[in-house]
Amino acid sequence: MVVLCGAQLARHGDMWGFVPLVGQNIVMNEESRQKYYVEDPVREQMKRFAMRLKELRAEHGLTTRQLQEKTGVSRGSITRWENCQSVIMSDQLIRLAEFFNVRVGYLLGVEEE
């Protein structure tokens, strides 16, 4: 799933592009092209997760490429999570929490160490 803030996927001929929207958060399933609208609390949760991931990566002195090499999670996914452009799937969330040796709740920003 990809979160597109303030944009709508549109097709023009054989090309796909994003059309700006005002005040809407859209979650897009890349495979089915289905759109889901997310509420502000979901968006806030994504921001907390992004902040924690950036902090943990910085504490460990890792670039996105190094984190990719150590966890097997794609560099593009890491970048999209840190920029609140994508929703993390549970298996990847668990993998990152295990790598950083933190609880999933901490990584999500809903609990302290």
- CA of 28: how far to CAs of 3, 14, 15, 37, 110, in Å? 6, 19, 17, 9, 24
Between the ranges 27-36, 78-87, 92-101, 104-113, where is the mean pLDDT highest?
92-101
Residues 29 and 49 in one domain: no
Q: Which residues contact 54 (CB under 8 A, 6 or more apart)?
A: 82
User: What CATH code is carried by the domain that includes residue 84?
Assistant: 1.10.260.40
Q: Is the pTM of this model over 0.85?
A: no
Residues 17 and 69 in one domain: no
pLDDT in tens, 52-103: 999 999 999 999 999 999 999 999 989 988 988 777 888 889 999 999 999 9
- Give the domain range for residue 85: 39-113
Q: How many domains would you assign to the chain?
A: 2
Residues 55 and 110 in one domain: yes
Residues 32 and 44 in one domain: no
Confidence of residue 32 (pLDDT cuts 50, 70, 90): low
Residues 49 and 102 in one domain: yes
